[in-house]
Amino acid sequence: KAGVTQTPRYLIKTRGQQVTLSCSPISGHRSVSWYQQTPGQGLQFLFEYFSETQRNKGNFPGRFSGRQFSNSRSEMNVSTLELGDSALYLCASSLESGPSLNTEAFFGQGTRLTVV
């Protein structure tokens, strides 16, 4: 059974550009979450989707957005990139009920974004 797949693994972008990251969840998983990981702030929740609906959003500016498609694949977009957006972006998928009902999240390897 394939795990959570994130593409690309590495990205280098320039300040002011925008970027789109992709996440394919484990087959049958309908909940997809995104987290930003930085040395200073640790793991911070970005948003969670279930059946194409965003159920929760973390405390990030509007430059961070996401969506989920009917096949449960998800993308997140960051516009007008800033140096501080450099981070490892992790996607996690869960079974139908999502993390609210004791089910664990399965994480991808992440996308390492560097903004220069």
Partner 1 sequence: GNSVTQMEGPVTLSEEAFLTINCTYTATGYPSLFWYVQYPGEGLQLLLKATKADDKGSNKGFEATYRKETTSFHLEKGSVQVSDSAVYFCALSDKGTYKYIFGTGTRLKVLA
For partner 1, the binding residue among 22, 60, 95, 99 (CB under 8 A) is 99
**Paired residues of 91 in beta bridges:** 34
What is the per-residue binding string for partner 1 in 60-89, x denoting contact by CB under 8 A? ------------------------------
Helix/strand/coil for 77: strand
CA distances 95 to 47, 58, 105, Å, are 16, 21, 8
Under the criterion CB under 8 A, does residue 2 sit at the interface with partner 1?
A: no
Beta strands 111-115; 10-13: pairing state: parallel
What is the per-residue binding string for partner 1 in 26-65, x denoting contact by CB under 8 A? -----x-x-x------xx-x--x-x----xx-x-------
Smallest gap from Cβ 48 to partner 1, in A, equals: 4
6-43: b (≥16 Cβ within 10 Å) or e: beeeebebeeeeebebebbbbeebbbbbbbbeeeeeee
Residues forming the site for partner 1 (CB under 8 A): 4, 6, 31, 33, 35, 42-43, 45, 48, 50, 55-56, 58, 90, 92, 98-102, 104-110
